[in-house]
Chains A and B, each alone.
Chain A
Amino acid sequence: MTALLEIENLRIGQGNNAPIVEQLSLSVSRGETVGLVGESGCGKSLTALSVMGLLAGNLGVRDGKIRLEGDEIQSLPQRKLRHLRGEKMGMIFQEPLTALNPVMSVGVQITEVLRNHRGMGRAEARTRAVELLRLVKIPDPEARLDEYPHQMSGGMRQRVVIAIALACSPSLLIADEPTTALDVTVQAQILRLLKQLQRDENLGLLLITHDLGVVRQVADRIVVMYAGSVVEEGLVDEVLDNPRHPYTAGLIAARPSGSFAEGAARLAEITGSVPAPADRPAGCVFRDRCKQARPECEARRPALERAPTGHAVRCHFPLAEGSPA
């Protein structure tokens, strides 16, 4: 598998304040689904937005590299970057209810992508838009094209957003908590749809979520983030059955429906909350909340160490393989 998206040592910050995201590296290959998990506020959305080049004006990429099919995103001129968005990468957001323009019909919002990137005419774009709505399994697509977002349910709107993201057949799809705002039954439908589209279109899918169950269901690899950086990464089954970072183990244990990993439930839930970027402790950023913390953890920040299997962990004292604490 060749890497489609490579993020290397990314640092995102606001002015001269403490960086919000730091030492963040991850990659997504074609045809691969990567689950990016972590508590809210740990920097998942900012990471995604920096890939799209859509960080809010007050934020910026301070260091590191983001490459999409070899093109370095930060060094591209705005015009080139604009073409990559929509053409090569698409993004789906958390709030389907507000993600669409309320005063424009769904059809216009889909066709304008095709007309913009592909130079299609009105009729041709409309035909393709109907195909797209069919692709995301919206019934009666011809009639739906003329509807306005408020006439659709949340699930339907999210399907429209997916159709927009896929309009120009991008190679990378970023989905930022695409189902969080939806009802449970609709969540399952949307996830199934995403997974199917990912397979059919051979997409690289970066799926951001805080639901480990979702990751287990659809992802090939998992990247666990804590306070702005990656703490553990590897194949989904390997990491979830065998967490090596105490934070990952805690996340698994905190799942309401019990744990995947035998024995992980024995770990107490993680107490406290994610520190704000300026309040992150020196050394290991997780040590304040870690049951296993020792003086060593305060002295120096652990590096992300990768085992030959590809399973990587950022911890001085990782949980033993095979038998979590």
Chain B
Amino acid sequence: MTQTLPNSGNGKTTTGPRKALSPALRYVLRRLFQAALVMVLVMVGSFLLVKLAPGDMVDAMAGTRDLTADQMAALRERYGLDQPVIVQLLRYMALLVTFDFGYSPINAAPAMDVILNRLPVTAILVVCSVSLSMVIGTVFGVIASRNAGKPVDLLLSMFMLLLYATPSFIIAVLMMLVFSVKLNLVPIAGFESIGMGYTGLTRFFDIAHHLILPVTALCTFYIAIYGRIGRASMLEVLKLDFVRTARGKGLGEGRIFYVHALRNALLPLVTMAGLQVSSLFGGAVLIETIFGLPGMGRTAFDAVFQRDTNLLLGVVFVSSLVVVIVNFLIDLLYMVLDPRVNLK
């Protein structure tokens, strides 16, 4: 006897990742293609936007040394800036494929080198703050939901509201005043101690020491977000029918809470992590500035104000690439966490 009835639950019956690999593979390939398309669109869009803005690379050069009109025209010709925009665009895209971002006049170096130099700073900052805030926030949220309505929940909710409402730069400055200036426990700014020639583990601890405050400052707001989403998500999941089934079969509250409910409640938190990466990568200008960290946000900021279009476009390219890759990974993680993910 075979059931042929369609399940009316969530639309079409999908073939899960375990049963057949080919839909999963096709899904991955399709997502990769989408990602590539997004990258092309982002680059064409930002290139045109930059060209629309007044001033170009030669103007930026003219700001640092005196150039005659003839010299400027010669430079424009040399960099192809006298060509029609469409030609410039095609040339630029052709170079991009080889990861050549062109020359950065304000750094007097290839833009690629500048970016490769600064990428690790932001990468470390983002990876540390995302993982820390996600873990701490989720733990807070789960504890709060487990004790919903009790004093622990109220205390945690108040604490999270405080973190949520205080701008991170204020927290940054306060921490700096207390821990660096007053107590002298951590360095006040910078990514690492300059000129000490640290290597290996010593360098690792030196960098960690420098990043304690900026990472904490970037975490506070997101701890509150994860905490609130986690709490709400757990409480929502605990109302679902399958929790009653789990109780009905005599499982302990621990298993119901940490195995049955938590696995379902994690999904929105993973989505949030993707958003957080996207927003911190390049969006941490304020914190990077306060703590004197030469990161991507800082670099973009300088590039905009000094009309270094190549550097700006390079930063946009790398940031978008990271965001696209992270979102792709999040989708894959979703596939693992939720067997219902529609592979169509």
Chain A residues in the interface with B (C-beta under 8 A): 52, 54, 82-87, 90-91, 93, 95, 97-105, 112-113, 116-117, 137, 139, 146-148, 150-157, 161, 164-165, 167, 183, 186, 189
Contact = CB atoms under 8 A, between A and B. Distances in A.
B203 interface: no
Interface of B: 1-10, 13-16, 18-19, 240-242, 244-252, 255, 260, 263-264, 337-340
Given A101-B242, A164-B249, 20 more contacts: A54-B244, A85-B247, A86-B248, A86-B250, A86-B251, A93-B241, A99-B245, A103-B264, A104-B260, A105-B339, A112-B255, A116-B250, A146-B18, A150-B10, A150-B16, A150-B339, A151-B16, A153-B3, A153-B6, A165-B248
B248 A52 contact: yes
A148 B251 contact: no
B7 A153 contact: yes
Contacts of B263: 101, 103-104
Contacts of A87: 250
Contact of A186 (B3, B10, B16): B3
A229 to B, nearest CB: 25
- B interface, over-half SS: loop
Given A99-B242, A103-B263, A139-B1, A148 B339 contact: yes
Contacts of B18: 146-147
B206 to A, nearest CB: 43
Nearest to B248: A91
B244 A101 contact: no
Contact of B19 (A86, A116, A137, A151): A151
B339 A103 contact: yes
A26 to B, nearest CB: 20
A153 B5 CA distance: 6
Contacts of A52: 248
Contact of B5 (A84, A99, A113, A183): A183
5 contacts: A102-B264, A153-B5, A153-B6, A165-B248, A186-B3
Given A86-B250, A164-B249, A186-B5, A151 B337 contact: no
A86 B2 contact: no
A102 B339 contact: yes
A104 B3 CA distance: 21
Nearest to A156: B3
Given A87-B250, A104-B260, A161 B245 contact: yes
Nearest to A146: B18
Given A113-B249, A150-B339, A98 B3 contact: no
Contacts of A104: 260, 263
A19 to B, nearest CB: 22
Nearest to A81: B250
B5 A93 contact: no
